[in-house]
Chain A
């Protein structure tokens, strides 16, 4: 696992990918911070949460080549024929991408230091927002890694993970649409308006329940709960496991 991690992590800095992602992150977060700072309203938690909404762009960039490049260049054969388990390979790649987010996070630490040194406040909310930052990153990277295992083209992988992530990102918005749709579809029947809106609400709640960001909304105010984190970790593990199965499938495929 460590071998794959090392190779993948350092390869980010051998191609423009790592630098582009880091520069983009530094630019966007820096721009936001400067704007807040200028009005003496540096709010680090809200900066972090806003940066999370950009993950939908960062994660596909970072994960697109993780497995698809190995497939394309034929280097995947190394993993299949070495005495390592493919799950270790998947975990190594996953941790490499997550570590890159760790480096991105350094930007935010710098912003904190600046805030502190100009006698601003960095409250407990920062801890909460940071936790969300890494857990959502882990979840999204697992999805991106999965997308990367499905294709041998980086572009296809990137688009695929972008679409899935956008879907996750928009779950809360979608929930309203879906519940409205269901309500109007059922209104043709003989159900009462009360009952209809109740059904709509339940459906909206169910769809919204899947949204990792809505789930962790309270964290930035310093209100923690373990449950949303368990949710992120378990969905991430599901995708990591799926990725592992996709790799294993290649070995057993009869097509």
Chain B
């Protein structure tokens, strides 16, 4: 369990973290969501003992990170934004080095490393130099490093950033698997990623907690209004007029138009009615004889999420 109380970090005259408090329960997967520069990494660095806080306390399994750093750090495995890898070592050498640092008893080492290697699926590259591995593999070695010493708590700072879609899916799967035996904190600036992996989410913005919510509640709040993007060929005004008459449509806005008569519009809908408006919109368009070229829902951006959440 991690208890964070009134955490403040000041850099010069800039307050990076302005009084963050939240608690992470045992066994949960907590998402730590916020735009770039919101203070996510700073907060994580403080929790792991890399940086000290200006004021406020962090307690890891009851140990204060500043007063009992060794005990607290033993409970935490940390994957920073940039995985701390020595490129001139092989994966196995590196993990053995981390075992030494984290004081893993020699007797447990072999079994533990074999388990970690197979868990993050890097057994086949164990003898290779880290410098020669692909980015996705490096990220896995970074996760393996965090797992050394079998800590209760894993803190992963943007574990999927810079990876290709396939690798992202694999890392997500990996985190899901890890969450069975560990408390996990994952930071991200991508909403859908947090939704895919976490039970609960702490949203921070400009160094403050904007919301703490479970994923299901968050989705409910977000699903009140949703946005659709429609691209079609036809008369803009007629289309907008007839779409406004469709029940459930709150507003229609024009986005772009080009010289071939292709228009893009945004449709704000009230999906709290429970019905999917997309088929109604399709029939309306079909009745008018206006061909649909593209039709999809637009994901809420993080800014909109903040607006949505804070306005509730």
Contacts and interface: CB of A to CB of B under 8 A. Distances in A.
Contacts, number: 70
A59 B12 CA distance: 36
Contacts of A124: none
A78 B70 contact: no
A251 interface: yes
Q: Which of B10, B12, B51, B87 has the most CB of A within 10 A?
A: B51
A80 B70 CA distance: 10
Interface of B: 10-12, 48-52, 54, 69-71, 73-74, 76, 78, 80, 82-89, 97-98, 100-103, 145
Interface string A199-238: 0000000000000000000000000000000000000000
Report the 8 A-B pairs with minimum CB-CB distance, sorted nearest first.
A3-B100, A74-B82, A83-B70, A82-B101, A75-B84, A14-B88, A80-B50, A81-B48
Contact of B50 (A14, A77, A83): A77
A254 B11 CA distance: 4
Contacts of A251: 50-52
Given A76-B84, A83-B69, A84-B103, 13 more contacts: A2-B100, A4-B101, A11-B86, A14-B89, A73-B84, A73-B85, A77-B50, A81-B78, A82-B73, A82-B98, A83-B70, A252-B52, A254-B12
B106 to A, nearest CB: 12
A116 interface: no
Query: Interface size for chain A: under 10, 10 to 19, 20 to 34, or 35 or more residues?
Result: 20 to 34
A76 B101 CA distance: 12
B54 A81 contact: no
A218 B100 CA distance: 43
B11 A6 contact: no
B78 A83 contact: no
B225 to A, nearest CB: 41
> From DSSP, what is the main secondary structure of chain A's interface residues?
helix
Given A251-B52, A254-B10, A83 B87 contact: no
B94 to A, nearest CB: 9
Interface of A: 2-4, 6-7, 11, 14-15, 73-84, 251-252, 254-255
Contacts of A74: 80, 82-84
A81 B76 contact: yes
Contacts of B83: 74
Contact of B97 (A7, A15, A73, A255): A7
9 contacts: A2-B100, A73-B84, A74-B83, A79-B101, A81-B50, A81-B73, A83-B74, A83-B102, A252-B52
A254 to B, nearest CB: 5
B124 to A, nearest CB: 22
Contact of A3 (B80, B89, B101): B101
Contacts of A15: 88
A4 B85 CA distance: 14
A19 to B, nearest CB: 14
Nearest to A4: B101
